[in-house]
Homo-oligomer: A and B are copies of this chain.
Amino acid sequence: MSLLAVGTVAFDDIQTPYGHAEKVVGGAATYIALSASYFIRPVQIVSVIGDDFPASTLDELRSRGVDLDGIQVKAGEKSFFWAGKYHEDLNHRDTLDTQLNVLADFDPHLPDNFRGSDFLMLGNLTPAVQMRVIEQMSKRPKVIALDTMNFWMDSALSSLQEVLQQVDILTINDEEARQLSGEYSLVKAAKNIHRMGPKILVIKKGEHGAILFQDDQVFFAPALPLAEVFDPTGAGDTFAGGFMGYLAKTQDLSFDNLKRAVIYGSAMASFCVEKFSVDRLVELSEKDIRDRVQQFVQLVRFDAKL
């Protein structure tokens, strides 16, 4: 069993009220793969980098069971770079710089042994690139999940709608769900988005938790209230990695198991924000994760005594 993850492997420059991390490792596929690696191996990555990417990070990924055969390395070119600065509240950020570099003409190419994967996580990328990945699969995966953002809703809506028709699970934030559906109520937004293709919708609300919708069923998972959120970068991708990693491990798409996947995703995201970059994601133990999930149990459990 394996999980195929597509997305950026990149550098970030991050300013938060807690400090400044210059040119640290980031990228959606990096966060997804590291998070998923606690549940399923191998995680196969499809991405593109320049020859400036540190070998030590690639070694770290390999040591965690990540298969890098789908990463194109462009000689003489630079990796994707994003610089951002978070506001005091950490819920809002300004993009200071975006250098597409190798991403500008990224044409994903799946190694043969990647094409039969049963679980496909399409990280946030141009919808046309996400579609080209689906087209290269030798058979329809059991589960295709997709992450996207408002930028593509503004600039490439029709190709986003096209790829959404192929997708089982959509993970977006609440603003994006409202924009995509044209509905303010998330209940109505979910119904609308179900009709676009994804039968399962996970709305990520950052510090306000996540909501899972499938048909008329709904499940709410809080975010863990933390004393310190150090760096929110990658939390959404880390959520997606934990969520899909857990689904790929358990091979169970019942609503009860989707709920557990949301909790495991939320637990992984709660670790991610505790340090800059992927620093926290490379040092976890199984016990850390189990204890964190137990904190989620405690956080929401009550006896209604009905």
Contacts and interface: CB of A to CB of B under 8 A. Distances in A.
Nearest to A225: B187
- Sort chain A's interface into a size bin: 35 or more
Given A256-B303, A263-B302, A225 B186 contact: yes
Chain copies in the assembly? 2
A226 B260 contact: no
Interface stretch (A7-15, A26-34, A205-213): A205-213
Interface string A263-306: 10000000000000000000000000010011011011011111
A218 to B, nearest CB: 6
Contact of A220 (B90, B225, B226, B305): B225
A306 B298 CA distance: 13
A218 B299 contact: yes
23 contacts: A88-B184, A185-B225, A185-B226, A185-B228, A187-B226, A187-B227, A209-B209, A218-B225, A218-B299, A219-B299, A219-B302, A220-B222, A220-B300, A221-B302, A260-B303, A260-B304, A260-B305, A290-B306, A293-B304, A294-B304, A296-B304, A297-B304, A297-B306
